């Protein structure tokens, strides 16, 4: 019942920030997906008879690859695979299922916030037994295996009915098709004060969630509409679709502008939120106030005790290096450990496993905690509703009071998407060559205090990650950061992060881009962005 199939390696299967991401036609090449799946299994040890969790965000090609994973898992010797009904499992829900049922690991099929469809993006990533993304030593082993692979093994069996909950036999391995929502919804009910949120909503507080035709629709419907009593239709674009209904499922001010405009209108909802393709990102908007992801992390940390699951306080905070230092000020005031890591949720796993941190966040609309080992969009949205319900203040009031207490970190990210790869790499190389000479230079009123290429030594296992982003730090707490993203599938994405700290509450109402204008100009001068990329401006500003 097990077939061994000869194959030849592909040279482009190096995982990025979170797994292998390519266009669907690339994955649909002969043996392409099979090669990568077999490379995962060949890089692991000790899983014979163990359980594997499998799911995805429902994007195009999801079901086909799940059938491949199931048959190859059976051939590899797994004892059981737990798979979400319909092939659906949000990334945070998959992490929870891995942890709750003590699975050996999991395979998540998603390209996160990237578009879906026959010619759009697809992705495969492996999560380890703690529920988090595989660390670099494993992803490197997978890549090295993919470069020399000569065969893969697969069970000769019929496809599994993914739409029926229940247990099935596949070549001697059990396939358990599970309700993708139930375990996750129960966990959220343990962590948050659902009674307080129900009272808030029944009192007339209007909440809308845009699931963007992606995976969180069923989760948000179950929790917001069924358990918290929001009116039917409060969850928009709630059915996961292979092409996300034509949406670009990235919850930001560009792709979720309709939601933003609705909340900001005079008769719009009091609270709006959106999540991305696989459910691990979030955008939060209150009447008159867009909450930046950096501020969201800081405010959740500062108000953690509002939620029952965090009533005893938090152990510490971690953020990715490009994320603003707003959370640092909370950690300092509360006497908590503060950790700055490279971009990628996998860097938070060791810190959470060691009990060093409870709450983590990235500026790329990702926030989460030690309840799972992934960022969690719906968790962040529920945390905000919990804070609003307990404090009995609007989102705008909560944010402004936070700024008054801690100061405001003006912050923005400029994305230059699908830049010529050679041009983007040349820009970064030229920046690295300038680093030593930047110290002490002045650009108008801005004087460079330090400049470096960020490197990180994991405080738990001692592993070292280098070339994680170029930082130019100015006196007074301002900075600009340059980094190439690892989540795109075409060309290169250059990200510019710009930050200025403003302690004076009288200066907290300046428009963000105006407050950062001199830093944006200096960043272009230092990196020669326009000259090297040929772009007049960024593709997306958040």
Which residues are identified as catalytic? 112
Shortest CA distance to 31 belongs to which of 52, 55, 58, 4? 4
Distance of alpha carbon 417 from alpha carbon 115, whole angstroms: 14
Express the helix, strand and coil content of the chain in percent, nearest 5 each.
Answer: 35, 25, 40
Distance of alpha carbon 90 from alpha carbon 231, whole angstroms: 23
Tell me the DSSP string of 327-352.
Answer: HHHHHHHHT-EEEEE-SSTHHHHHHH
User: Within 10 Å of residue 30's Cβ, how many Cβ atoms?
Assistant: 9
According to DSSP, the β-strands at 479-484 and 470-474 are antiparallel
Helix H or strand E segment including 305: none
Strands (E), 333-491: 337-341, 359-362, 366-369, 408-419, 442-443, 446-453, 456-457, 464-465, 470-474, 479-484
> Residue 272 in contact with residue 234, Cβ under 8 Å?
no
Q: Is the dihedral of CA 197, 355, 366, 180 positive or negative?
A: negative
Shortest CA distance to 371 belongs to which of 155, 149, 97, 13? 97
> Residue 169 in contact with residue 161, Cβ under 8 Å?
no
Shortest CA distance to 300 belongs to which of 410, 380, 377, 197? 380
Cα(first)–Cα(last) distance of the chain, in Å? 52
Tell me the DSSP string of 482-524.
Answer: EEE-SS-SSSEEEEEEEEEEE--GGGS-S-HHHHTHHHHHHHH
The size of the chain, in residues, is: 542
Max distance between CA atoms of the chain, in angstroms, equals 72
Shortest CA distance to 470 belongs to which of 451, 444, 443? 451
> Residue 191 in contact with residue 309, Cβ under 8 Å?
yes
Number of helical H runs and strand E runs in the chain: 18, 27
Across-strand partners of 492?
Answer: 419
* The two structure tokens encoding residue 44: 């692991």
């Amino acid at each position: 019942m097990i077939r061994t199939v000869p194959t030849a390696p592909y040279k482009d299967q190096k995982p990025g920030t979170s797994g292998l991401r390519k266009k669907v036609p690339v994955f649909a090449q002969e043996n392409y997906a099979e090669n990568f799946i077999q490379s995962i299994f060949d890089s692991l040890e000790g899983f014979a008879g163990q359980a594997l969790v499998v799911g995805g965000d429902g994007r195009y090609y999801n079901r086909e690859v799940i059938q491949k994973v199931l048959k190859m898992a059976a051939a590899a010797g797994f004892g059981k695979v737990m798979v979400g009904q319909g092939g659906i499992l949000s990334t945070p829900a998959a992490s929870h299922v891995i942890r709750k049922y003590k699975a050996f690991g999991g395979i998540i099929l998603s390209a996160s916030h990237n578009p879906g469809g026959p010619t759009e993006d697809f992705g495969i990533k492996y999560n380890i037994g703690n529920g988090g993304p595989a660390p670099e030593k494993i992803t490197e082993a997978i890549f090295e295996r993919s470069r020399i692979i000569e065969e893969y093994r697969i069970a000769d069996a019929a496809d599994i009915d993914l739409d029926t909950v229940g247990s099935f036999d596949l070549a001697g391995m059990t396939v358990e098709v599970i309700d993708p929502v139930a375990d996750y919804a129960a966990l959220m009910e343990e962590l948050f004060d659902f009674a307080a949120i129900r009272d808030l909503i029944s009192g007339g507080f209007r909440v809308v969630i845009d699931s963007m035709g992606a995976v969180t629709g069923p989760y948000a419907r179950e929790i917001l509409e069924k358990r918290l009593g929001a009116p039917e239709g409060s969850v928009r674009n709630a059915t996961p679709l292979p092409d996300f209904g034509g949406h670009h499922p990235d919850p930001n001010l560009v792709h979720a502008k309709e939601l933003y405009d609705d909340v900001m209108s005079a008769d719009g909802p009091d609270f709006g939120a959106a999540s991305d393709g696989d459910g691990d990102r979030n955008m939060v908007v209150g009447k008159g106030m867009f909450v930046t992801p950096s501020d969201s992390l800081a405010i959740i940390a500062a108000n953690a005790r509002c939620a029952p699951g965090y009533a005893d306080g938090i152990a510490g905070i971690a953020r990715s290096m490009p994320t603003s230092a707003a959370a640092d000020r909370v950690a300092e005031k509360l006497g908590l450990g503060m950790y700055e890591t490279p971009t990628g949720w996998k860097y938070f796993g060791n810190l959470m496993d060691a009990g060093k941190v409870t709450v983590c966040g990235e500026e790329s609309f990702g926030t989460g905690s030690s309840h799972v080992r992934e960022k969690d969009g719906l968790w962040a949205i529920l945390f905000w509703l919990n804070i609003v319900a307990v404090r009995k203040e609007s989102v705008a009031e909560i944010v402004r009071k936070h700024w008054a207490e801690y100061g405001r970190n003006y912050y923005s990210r400029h994305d230059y998407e699908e830049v010529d790869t050679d041009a983007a790499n040349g820009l970064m190389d030229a920046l690295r060559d300038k680093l030593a000479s930047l110290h002490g230079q002045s650009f108008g009123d801005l004087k460079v205090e330090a400049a470096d290429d960020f490197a990180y030594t994991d405080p738990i296992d001692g592993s070292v990650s280098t070339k994680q982003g170029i930082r130019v730090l100015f006196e007074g707490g301002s900075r600009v950061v340059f980094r190439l993203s690892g989540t795109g599938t075409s060309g290169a994405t250059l990200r510019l992060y710009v930050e200025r700290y403003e302690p004076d509450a009288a200066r907290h109402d300046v428009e963000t881009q105006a407050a950062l204008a001199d830093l944006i100009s200096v960043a272009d001068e230092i990196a020669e962005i326009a000259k090297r990329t040929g772009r007049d401006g960024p593709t997306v500003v958040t």
